[in-house]
Amino acid sequence: MTRVAAIDCGTNSIRLLIADVPAEGAHTDLLRRMEVVRLGEGVDATGRLAPQAIERTRQVLAEYAAQARELGAERVRMVATSASRDAENRAEFEAMVTATLGRLPDVATGVEEAGLSYLGATASLAAAARAHGTAEPEPPYLVVDIGGGSTEFVLGDASGVRAARSVDVGCVRLTERHLHSDPPPPEEVQAAETDIRAALAQVAAGVPVAQARTLVGLAGSVTTVAALALGLPAYDPDAIHGSRIPVAAVRSVSAGLLTASRARRAALPVMHPGRVDVIGAGALILRVVMDTFDLDEVVISEHDILDGIALRLARPQA
């Protein structure tokens, strides 16, 4: 058993998982945390990480580092994704992380990010299906990880990853680029959809999407859409993980979010405050993916790149 601390620093949020990972089988969570720090605030327009965004991230990272020490994590890894990968002042961010955490972050390539997401998302699919009393999802899986700055697509099966592609459409990036009104009018939504469809053409050129038997969706935008589709009175990870959401429900939820005011979105009982401003774009990405690739349902995973980082820390060959 290896105790590890995995940190995922994305465009919108920074998350921590401290877990005990056996040589094989399921890992045991000791602590999970997620804080919205919006590291990628403005980076699409300026190409730089804002000083206030770096400072927000530093404050939370200091708490995570302390908790990793307190719980006796033997191995620690922080993976930083789209926002820091794109930034001109990436060195400033890396210096902050080194001073706060005691080690450099791994600024993952899009393909590496996709592989970690695939590992984390698929490791517990069979167990989740048993918990729901449903049939196990069939491979090959198309894992779609909708982040703040980018979305990762990875096709794979039990033998691992077959193909992967990362594209620069994410819920924060699209919101800042296109969805400026409250709520956004049809022309703003259409402009965002045009960006998504252009990115999906890149995906289709590199990933044989038609081979997929099961779409697996992950990250906060997807799980929030699932919570709304399921009509949950409060956010419930156990109810969400492994659930199957039909495309008609995704279309309905996406349309509702994009036509709702900010105040109405904020009042939804399953909505995390940090997702209120960007959930419409995240839901739109999922809907356009399903429509473009003619996918009739999505299996939801609460496990993602964070779990992949933890598993790879303890099992380097995983």
pLDDT band at 318 (very low <50, low <70, confident <90, very high): low
Q: Coil, helix or strand for 143?
A: strand
More confident residue, 150 or 267: 267
pLDDT band at 124 (very low <50, low <70, confident <90, very high): confident
β-pairing, 28-36 with 75-80?
Answer: unpaired
Spatial distance between the Cα atoms of 74 and 158, rounded to a whole number of angstroms: 28
Classify residue 36 as exposed, middle or buried by CB count within 10 Å of its CB (0-12, 13-18, 19+). buried
Tens of pLDDT, residue by residue over 207-239, are 999 999 999 999 899 999 999 999 999 999 999
Mean pLDDT value across the chain: 93
Residue 199 has pLDDT above 70, yes or no: yes
Residue 195 has pLDDT above 80, yes or no: yes
Tens of pLDDT, residue by residue over 267-290, are 999 999 989 999 999 999 999 999
pLDDT band at 117 (very low <50, low <70, confident <90, very high): confident
Do residues 97 and 78 make contact, with C-beta atoms less than 8 angstroms apart?
Answer: yes
Q: pTM of the entire structure?
A: 0.82
Question: What's the average model confidence in pLDDT over 114-128?
Answer: 87
In the DSSP assignment, the letter for residue 168 is: S
Q: How confident is the model at residue 317, as a pLDDT?
A: 73
Question: What's the average model confidence in pLDDT over 29-45?
Answer: 90
Do residues 57 and 92 make contact, with C-beta atoms less than 8 angstroms apart?
Answer: no
Can you state the percent helix, strand and coil of the chain, rounding each to 5?
A: 50, 20, 30
